Amino acid sequence: MPQSSARSSFMAGVRDTVPMLVGAAPFGMIFGALVGTTALAAWQGQLMSLSVFAGSSQFIALGLMAGLAGTLVIWFATFIVNLRHMLYAAALLPHVGHLPPRWRWLLGFLLTDETFAVVDSYYRQHPQARLGHWYFLGSGLSMYANWQCWTLVGLLFGAVFPQLQTLGLDFAMVVTFISIVVPQLLRLPHLAAALAAGSVAYGLNDLPFKLGLLAAIVVGVAIGMLLTQWRLHKSMPGSVT
C-alpha cells in the first residue's frame, strides 16, 4: 500500500468533513459549558468527550446526572439513543468487513452521525475504493479532534460566561443534522425508519421523561435494520424473491 495514496485518502476524508466540523463546533462548546452547571469537574467533562465521543448521549447523560438518576438509568438511556449507530454500521459493513479487528474497532469508535454522512457518500461514489478505510479514518479523527477542542473551549469559556449555552448556538447543529438526514432519505430503509420514528415520536409526545422519543428511536432502528437485512438478503446470489 503506497504511503502517499494512504495519506491522500486520509487528507481527502479530513477535507470533506470540514463542513461537519463547523456545524459540530457550537454543539461541543455548549456541552463544555453545560458541564460547569453540574457536579462534574471540568476534567471529568473532558474525559467524557475523550472516552464516550457521542454528543447526544453526553447531553442526555448530563441531564440525567443533574436529575440524580441512577447509573443503570443513564446507561439504558444512552444505549437507546445510540442504537441508530447499528444502522450506520450495517450500511458500512460491506465496505469495512474485510478489515482486521484493530481497524474495525477503531473506525467503530470514531463513527458518528457526521462521519457516517461523509463516509457513506464517499462509498456510494467509490464502492470499490481499496483505501476507503483511510478516508474513513481521516473523517473520524478530524471529528474526534474537533469535538475535543470545542469541549475544552466550552469548559474554559463556560466558567467565564455562564450563560453561553443560551446564545442559540445549538441552531447550527440542527442545520447540520438536517443536512445529514435529508440525503439519506433516498434509501428505502432510512426513509421508512425516519417515517416510523417520526410517527411514534409524534404519537407519544405526551409521555413523561421523553419516553416517546426513546420509543421512536427503538422503532425507527428496528424498521431500518429489518429493511436493510431484507435488501441484503434479496441482493444475495440465489436468493428467492
pLDDT value at 224 more than 60: yes
Residue 239 has pLDDT above 60, yes or no: no
Q: Which of 78-92, 114-128, 178-192, 222-236 has the highest mean pLDDT?
A: 114-128
Stretch 72-82: mean pLDDT, rounded? 84
pLDDT at 66: 78
Q: How far apart are CA 70 and CA 65, in angstroms?
A: 8
Q: Which has the higher per-residue pLDDT, 95 or 34?
A: 95
Query: Which of 13-27, 97-111, 116-130, 189-203 comes out lowest in average pLDDT?
Result: 189-203
Query: For 25-43, what is the mean pLDDT?
Result: 86
pLDDT exceeds cutoff 90 at 206: no
Summarize the confidence of residues 76-82 as an average pLDDT.
83
Q: Which residue has the higher pLDDT, 185 or 61?
A: 61
pLDDT value at 214 more than 70: yes
Question: How big is the CA angle at 233 (ends 227 and 238), to the nearest 5 degrees?
Answer: 155
Helix-helix angle 55-66:71-81, to 10 degrees: 150
Retrieve residue 202's grid coordinates: 409524534
Cα–Cα distance measured from residue 194 to residue 183, given in angstroms and rounded to the nearest whole number: 12
The residue with greater pLDDT, 130 or 83, is 130
Residue 175 pLDDT? 60
- The residue among 17 and 87 whose pLDDT is bigger is 17
Q: What secondary structure letter does DSSP report for 68?
A: T
Per-residue confidence (pLDDT) for residue 116, from 0 to 100: 92
Residue 28's nearest CA partner among 173, 150, 161 is 150
User: Model confidence over 137-165: pLDDT tens digits?
Assistant: 999 999 999 999 999 998 988 666 556 55
Is it the case that residue 82 has pLDDT exceeding 70?
yes
| Residue with the larger pLDDT of the pair 173 and 83 | 83
Q: Does residue 163 sit in helix, strand or coil? A: coil
pLDDT reported for residue 24: 85
Average pLDDT over the chain, rounded to an integer:
82
User: What are the extents of the domains in the chain?
Assistant: 3-81+97-169
Name the helix (H) or strand (E) containing 197: helix 188-203
Q: Is the pLDDT of residue 1 over 50?
A: no
pTM of the model: 0.74
For range 121-126, the mean pLDDT: 91
